[in-house]
Structure 1
Amino acid sequence: MVKKMDSPNTGIKCEVSTCRYYSSGDHCTAEIIEVQNKDASTSRDTNCNTFIPRGM
């Protein structure tokens, strides 16, 4: 599991409020993120593999 930081990772914007790493103001508190689908040709084709539902 990715380490959750005490403050936002200011280089990452996230609007997924159902994610464990979501912080108010559309910030991400994950230490690192992993985005998958090496064959993606648009942003819709990508997936944030760091996503964990809030509460887990």
Structure 2
Amino acid sequence: MAVRKMEKPNEGIKCVVNTCEYYMNGDHCAAEKISVEPRNAKGSEETDCATFEPKDRTF
């Protein structure tokens, strides 16, 4: 899923995954939209943010 990275955080989404490309300081998400999967999850422990993209860590 192609997601645009915004310059300002999406204030309605809290994210603490600082290894994600969309992570912003203050535990915010800069993804224009997110997708949470799978469809038939029975609890929060069974869900994942399908929008996650690892940060490019090459130096």
TM-score by length of 1: 0.95
* CA–CA separation in structure 2 for the residues paired with 1:43 and 1:17: 20
**In the TM superposition, what is the alpha-carbon distance from 1:51 to its structure 2 partner?**
0.2
Unaligned stretches of 5+ in structure 2? Answer: none
* CA–CA separation in structure 2 for the residues paired with 1:27 and 1:47: 16
Q: What amino acid is aligned across from residue 9 of structure 2 in structure 1?
A: P
TM-score by length of 2: 0.90
Identity score, percent: 52
For these two proteins, the number of residue pairs brought into alignment is 56
Unaligned stretches of 5+ in structure 1? Answer: none
* CA–CA separation in structure 1 for the residues paired with 2:18 and 2:43: 23
Determine which structure has more spread, i.e. the larger CA radius of gyration: 2
Deviations 1:15-45 (A, max 9, x none): 0000000000100000000001111111010
Segments of 4+ in structure 1 off by > 6 A? none
